[in-house]
Amino acid sequence: MEVDWGLELDESRTWATWRWMRQLKLSEAREPERDSATASAGSLAGGGRALTRDDILSAIEVAELLQLRRSTVEDYARRGVLPSIKLGRFRRFVRADVEETLQRLRNDATRRRGERT
């Protein structure tokens, strides 16, 4: 039986990235189905769409996006502030996870500001 993973290996993707994306698709298939009310809009599993090259960011790309130093982004990833995936010696970020984390941090800051007044 041949399985179509919906992923193609080309020159722009390394073998490790392709293998990681395949594992992500496998884990999505094992996860229980979430209803649309609890699934986040940016969630890859809830949205049912495949990952693209634009969805996977390097530490440098996240640093540019957030206007931070690369070392700060890597430190946040090590401490768990920013969700990331370690692929060998490289750290990669899923755009939807970064956006979701920023929204959560923003909501927490707004909530704390409201409690002080």
**Domain-embedded: residue 41:** no
**Domain-embedded: residue 110:** yes
What is the enclosing helix (H) or strand (E) of 90? strand 90-94
Tens of pLDDT, residue by residue over 24-74, are 665 555 555 444 333 443 444 445 678 888 899 999 999 999 999 999 999
What is the structure's pLDDT at 54? Answer: 87
Q: Which of 15-19, 60-64, 99-103 has the lowest mean pLDDT?
A: 15-19
Domain, as residue range, for 79: 15-28+52-116
Q: State how many domains the chain has.
A: 1
**Domain-embedded: residue 91:** yes
Q: Where are the alpha helices (DSSP H) in 1-117?
A: 15-30, 44-47, 59-66, 70-79, 95-116
pTM: 0.56
pLDDT at residue 108 tops 50: yes
- The pLDDT of 105-114, averaged and rounded, is 84
Local confidence band at 114 (pLDDT 50, 70, 90 cut-offs): confident
**Domain-embedded: residue 33:** no
**Domain-embedded: residue 83:** yes
**Domain-embedded: residue 68:** yes
